[in-house]
Structure 1
C-alpha cells in the first residue's frame, strides 16, 4: 500500500525517474556458460530441464527487479526466499515506482546491466507493451486459467484480490458497504489509495463505488459522482494512505485492495476489512519477462519460482490471491491455514476488461478532477 501501482491508460504521460539514465552503456549480454541462448528460451526444457535453468541463472549472477515494494503482496519474503534458495543476488530498484516507470526504465536502460529483467504491471500498461515481453511458459503454465494468461506465455497474471474498505473500528462505527462512508461520522476520514487517473487501486476503488451505486464496468460515472458527494460532505480525505498513516491513525478509512488492507490487521488489531458483496471488484497484476533484460536465465527462473507452489503460497502469505489457487486446492498443495485467513467475499466478481479499463481511464481523466477539485 505504500505505493499506488499504476493502471496507466495509454494516453497518460509520465516523468522518467532520474536514475534510469545514469549508467554507462554495457556490452551485449553473451550466451550463458552452459551454451544455452537464454533469450530465446520459451520453457525450462530449452535448458535441458530445471537443473540446467538453475545453472544458467547462477552463471549470470544476478536478477534485476523493479517496482516491488516490500510490503506489497509479501514481496520482501518472496525476494529473500528466491535469493537464498538459488544463491542469486536480487537487485531491487525503485520499490516505490509505478508500472509506467518500469516500462520507462526498461527503455532508458536497454542494453545496460541495470535494466529490469522482469515486470509486475497493471493491466493497461501490460497490454500496451507486449512487444517488450519474452514469451515463456513455466512448468505450471497449464494450471493458470486461460482467462489469466496469454496463450504463448507473453504475460501471465500472478496474484490478485478484491477492492475493500479498511477502517479503524476503535474510532468509527461498523462499515457494511460503500454508502456508509457518506454518513456524518466519517467526516474527514475516507482516503483512497492514489489518484484514480493513474493508480490501479484507486481506479478500481471508484469502480467499486460505481457498481454499488448502479454503475458497471462499462459505466464508472456513478463512482465519480459518489466521490463528488463524499467530497461535498467533507468526508473525503485527500491523503495517499500508507501503512504508517494507518498505524498512526491519520487515515482511519482506506479504500484499497483487500490484501493490502488485510495486512494492516496484523499491526493494528482494531483495523477491520470489508469487501462489499454488492460491489465485488476483482483484479490481477501481470507478470512478464523483459526481452532485453541482462539476466534472461535468472528472469525465467524467477518466473518458475513465482508460479511454483512455494511462490504462490508466499503471495498467499501476503494475503494476495495466487492465480493457481484453484489448481493448488485440488492438488492439496495450497496452504489451507493461509487460505482461511483471507477476507471472506460474497457475490459475483466484476473484473474489468482491457477495453473497459481504457474507457474508464478516459472518463476519469476527463471528470475526476472536476468531481473532487
Structure 2
C-alpha cells in the first residue's frame, strides 16, 4: 500500500519469508473472562455495545491479558509503533509472531493452530486472500464504523479496510539507473536485479506489483494479463530475481530493485545499510490497494481481538499509519474532525489523480488469473 510521500519515496520491502508456526503465546483466558458487563461472551460480540460498551470491552480484554498478531513486521506501515502504543494504552501483552509471512500463510497458520493458545487473534490481509476466506472471520463493527465508506468494509462486519498506499519501484541508486517506465526495467542495467514482495498467488503486495504492471502496460483493472506478460518478459530477459526481498537482502545488495508499497519503501530507505535507496512511482496510472483487518473466528483472546480492532480504527493508530506514509481508511473523517496529524499528511501528500483501486470482483478475477498463469509465465 501505499503511501508515498509525495510522489516518490524510498523503497523496499516488507518482505515475505517463511515460517508458519506462531510460537508460544500464552494461555488464553477463561471463557468467563471474555464476557463483558452485559454477560455476552466476547466470541459472539459484533460490537462493543454487545459487551456493555467500551469500558466493558477494555475490562474483558485486559482480563485476557494477551493478544496474538501475525504478519506484522515492525517497519510495515508503522506496526512496531502501533503495537507499542496499544500496549502502552492497555494492560495487554502483544505476542507478534511470524512477521514476514504472506497473507495466505496467515490463514494457514490460523487453521493449523485452531483451538491452540498460540493461534492468531487478528489478521492484516491483502484483499484477494480476505475475500477468499470470509468464513475464517468473526463479524465485528468498530465504534468508528460510520466513518468508513460503504465500499471500504463488509456490510456484515467480517472485514474492513485499514490502510492503503501506492505500488512503487524501490531501487539502489548506486547500482542501477532510475527507471522512468516499465520498459526501462527490461534493459541490461537491470539484469538479475528485479524482485517482488513474495509469490503473487499468495501475497497481496506481490499481486499488486503484477496488477500495477498491467495498468502501466496497456491492461486495466479488468485485464491484468499484460502484467503477467510483462513479468514473463522480465524473466525471459534474465532480469527477474525470484528472491523475496527483506531488509537484509536490500542492505546486502542482493535485491537492488524491488516492487513494493511505498510505505515499505520508506522504511527500507531508513535501514538500507548505507545504500542510496530510492523509490519511483512511475508516470501514468497509479495503483492503490487497501489491506484488510479481520478477527479470527477461533481467536483465543476474543475480547482483546475486538479491542485491537477498535484501536486500529481509532485516531492514534490511523495517524501512525499516516506517519509511515500509508493512507488510513478514516483519513477523510479525521480531516473533517480536525484529528488528523497534519504534518504527516503534508509530508505524504495527495494521491495521484489517476489512481486505481481494484474492486472486490476485479481482485477475485485477477487472483484467479494469477493462479492459472503465473508459474508458466516466469518459468
Q: Give the TM-score taking structure 1 as reference length.
A: 0.88
Match of 1:3 among 7, 15, 20: 15
1:237 alignment partner, SS class: coil
- Equivalents in 1 of 2:144, 2:203: separation in Å? 30
Change (3 A) 1:329 1:117: same
Match of 1:168 among 164, 168, 172: 172
Shift of 1:223: 1.4
Deviations 1:164-216, CA, capped at 9 Å, x for gaps: 11112233322223222123322232222222222221121111111111111
- Equivalents in 2 of 1:251, 1:152: separation in Å? 41
Q: Counterpart in 1 of 2:61?
A: 57
- Equivalents in 2 of 1:130, 1:26: separation in Å? 24
Contact 1:273 1:343 in 2 (8 A): no
- Equivalents in 2 of 1:279, 1:220: separation in Å? 13
Change (3 A) 1:157 1:19: closer
Shift of 1:345: 4.2
1:107 alignment partner, SS class: helix
Q: Give the TM-score taking structure 2 as reference length.
A: 0.87
Match of 2:287 among 281, 287, 293: 281
- Equivalents in 1 of 2:251, 2:27: separation in Å? 44
Q: Counterpart in 2 of 1:352?
A: 358
Q: Counterpart in 2 of 1:261?
A: 265
Q: Counterpart in 1 of 2:228?
A: 224
Contact 1:16 1:104 in 2 (8 A): no
Q: Counterpart in 2 of 1:45?
A: 49
**TM alignment of 1:1-373, pairs within 5 A:** 1-4=13-16, 17=20, 29-30=31-32, 31-32=34-35, 34=37, 35-268=39-272, 270-342=276-348, 345-373=351-379
Change (3 A) 1:220 1:292: same
- Equivalents in 1 of 2:26, 2:94: separation in Å? 20
- Equivalents in 2 of 1:108, 1:166: separation in Å? 35
Change (3 A) 1:87 1:25: closer
Count of aligned pairs: 363
Shift of 1:26: 8.1
Change (3 A) 1:210 1:332: same
- Equivalents in 2 of 1:283, 1:108: separation in Å? 28
Contact 1:4 1:200 in 2 (8 A): no
- Equivalents in 1 of 2:145, 2:36: separation in Å? 27
1:113 alignment partner, SS class: coil
- Equivalents in 1 of 2:285, 2:73: separation in Å? 27
Shifted more, 286-295 versus 103-112: the winner is 103-112
Shift of 1:332: 1.9
Q: Counterpart in 1 of 2:9?
A: none
Shifted more, 206-215 versus 346-355: the winner is 346-355
Shift of 1:256: 0.9
Contact 1:163 1:281 in 2 (8 A): yes
Change (3 A) 1:33 1:233: closer
Q: Counterpart in 2 of 1:10?
A: none
Shifted more, 46-55 versus 144-153: the winner is 46-55
Shift of 1:25: 10
- Equivalents in 1 of 2:208, 2:299: separation in Å? 31
- Equivalents in 2 of 1:344, 1:170: separation in Å? 29
Change (3 A) 1:304 1:203: same
Shift of 1:36: 4.0
